[in-house]
A and B are shown apart, each in its own frame.
Chain A
Amino acid sequence: MKVLVSVKRVIDYNVKVRVKADHSAVDLTNVKMSMNPFCEIAVEEAIRLKEKGVADEVVVVSVGSKSCQETLRTALALGADRAIQVETEDGLDSLSVAKLLAGVAKDEAADLIIMGKQSIDSDNNQTGQMVAALLDYPQATFASEVIVENGEAKVTREIDGGLQTLAITLPAVVTTDLRLNEPRFASLPNIMKAKKKPLDVKTPADFGVEVGSNVSIVSVTPPPERAAGIKVGSVSELVDKLKNEAKVVS
Chain B
Amino acid sequence: MSILVLAEHDNQSLKPATLNTITAASQIGGDVHLLVAGFECQTVITQATKVAGVSKVLSADNAVYEHQLAENIAKLVVELAQGYSHILAPATTTGKNTLPRVAALLDVAQLSDVIKVESADTFVRPIYAGNAIATVKSSDSVKVITVRATGFDAAAEEGGDAQTEVLSQVIASEKSRFVSEQLAESDRPELTAASVVISGGRGMGSGDNFKLLDGIADKLGAAIGASRAAVDAGFVPNDLQVGQTGKTVAPELYIAVGISGAIQHLAGMKDSKVIVAINKDEDAPIFQVADYGLVADLFDAVPELEKSL
In the complex, whether B187 has a CB less than 8 A from a CB of chain A is no
A218 to B122, alpha carbons, bound, how many Å? 9
Highest count of chain A CB atoms <10 Å: which of B10, B228, B263: B263
Interface size class of B (residues with CB under 8 A): 35 or more
Highest count of chain A CB atoms <10 Å: which of B128, B192, B196, B305: B128
Beyond A123-B112, A229-B293, whether A179 also contacts B238 by CB under 8 A is yes
Q: Is the CB of A94 within 8 A of B110?
A: yes
In the complex, whether B289 has a CB less than 8 A from a CB of chain A is yes
Q: Is the CB of A222 within 8 A of B133?
A: yes
A164 to B239, alpha carbons, bound, how many Å? 12
List chain B residues, Cβ under 8 A from A214.
108-109, 138-140
In the complex, whether B50 has a CB less than 8 A from a CB of chain A is no
Q: Is the CB of A239 within 8 A of B253?
A: no
Q: Quick check: which of A10-18, A45-53, A61-69 contacts chain B, the rest being far away?
A: A10-18
Q: Quick check: which of B25-33, B203-211, B273-281 contacts chain A, the rest being far away?
A: B273-281
Interface residue SS majority, chain B: mixed
Contact with A along B70-89 (1 / 0, CB 8 A): 11001000000000000000
In the complex, whether A126 has a CB less than 8 A from a CB of chain B is yes
Q: Is the CB of B133 within 8 A of A221?
A: yes
Beyond A138-B175, A214-B109, whether A220 also contacts B132 by CB under 8 A is yes
In the complex, whether A158 has a CB less than 8 A from a CB of chain B is yes
Q: Is the CB of B104 within 8 A of A215?
A: no
Interface residue SS majority, chain A: mixed
A122 to B274, alpha carbons, bound, how many Å? 27
In the complex, whether A223 has a CB less than 8 A from a CB of chain B is yes
Beyond A120-B244, A169-B176, whether A220 also contacts B276 by CB under 8 A is no
* Contact for A241 among B136, B292, B295, CB less than 8 A: B292
* Contact for A13 among B196, B264, B290, CB less than 8 A: B264
List chain A residues, Cβ under 8 A from B188.
none
**What 4 A-B pairs have minimum CB-CB distances, sorted nearest first?**
A129-B100, A133-B104, A130-B104, A126-B100
Beyond A95-B107, A138-B71, A229-B291, whether A133 also contacts B175 by CB under 8 A is no
A241 to B255, alpha carbons, bound, how many Å? 14
In the complex, whether B92 has a CB less than 8 A from a CB of chain A is yes
In the complex, whether A188 has a CB less than 8 A from a CB of chain B is no
In the complex, whether A160 has a CB less than 8 A from a CB of chain B is yes
In the complex, whether A207 has a CB less than 8 A from a CB of chain B is no
A158 to B139, alpha carbons, bound, how many Å? 33
A167 to B10, alpha carbons, bound, how many Å? 20
List chain B residues, Cβ under 8 A from A215.
109, 111, 136-140
Contact with B along A166-198 (1 / 0, CB 8 A): 111100100001110000000000000000000
Q: Is the CB of B128 within 8 A of A230?
A: no
12 contacts between A and B (CB under 8 A): A94-B110, A126-B110, A129-B99, A133-B103, A137-B175, A162-B237, A179-B238, A215-B136, A215-B137, A222-B133, A229-B275, A242-B253
Contact with A along B1-34 (1 / 0, CB 8 A): 0000000001000000000000000000000000
Interface size class of A (residues with CB under 8 A): 35 or more
B154 to chain A minimum Cβ distance, whole angstroms, is 17
In chain B, residues 99-126, which have Cβ atoms closer than 8 Å to a Cβ of chain A? 99-105, 107-113, 122, 126
List chain A residues, Cβ under 8 A from B134.
217, 219-220
Interface residue ranges, B against A (CB under 8 Å): 10, 67, 69-71, 74, 92-94, 96-105, 107-113, 122, 126-140, 173-184, 192, 196, 220, 228, 231-232, 237-239, 244-245, 247, 252-253, 263-264, 270, 273-276, 282, 287, 289-296, 301, 304-305, 308-309
Q: Is the CB of B96 within 8 A of A125?
A: yes
* Contact for B287 among A131, A229, A238, CB less than 8 A: A229
Beyond A123-B112, A130-B101, A230-B293, whether A223 also contacts B126 by CB under 8 A is yes
Beyond A120-B129, A164-B67, A169-B175, whether A158 also contacts B112 by CB under 8 A is no
A131 to chain B minimum Cβ distance, whole angstroms, is 8
A139 to B102, alpha carbons, bound, how many Å? 13
Q: Is the CB of A123 within 8 A of B129?
A: yes
Beyond A26-B132, A167-B176, A214-B140, whether A133 also contacts B105 by CB under 8 A is yes
List chain A residues, Cβ under 8 A from B295.
231
Q: Is the CB of A248 within 8 A of B292?
A: no
List chain A residues, Cβ under 8 A from B103.
95, 126, 130, 133
A152 to chain B minimum Cβ distance, whole angstroms, is 9
In the complex, whether A213 has a CB less than 8 A from a CB of chain B is yes
List chain A residues, Cβ under 8 A from B99.
129
List chain A residues, Cβ under 8 A from B137.
215-218
In the complex, whether A165 has a CB less than 8 A from a CB of chain B is yes
Q: Is the CB of B133 within 8 A of A220?
A: yes
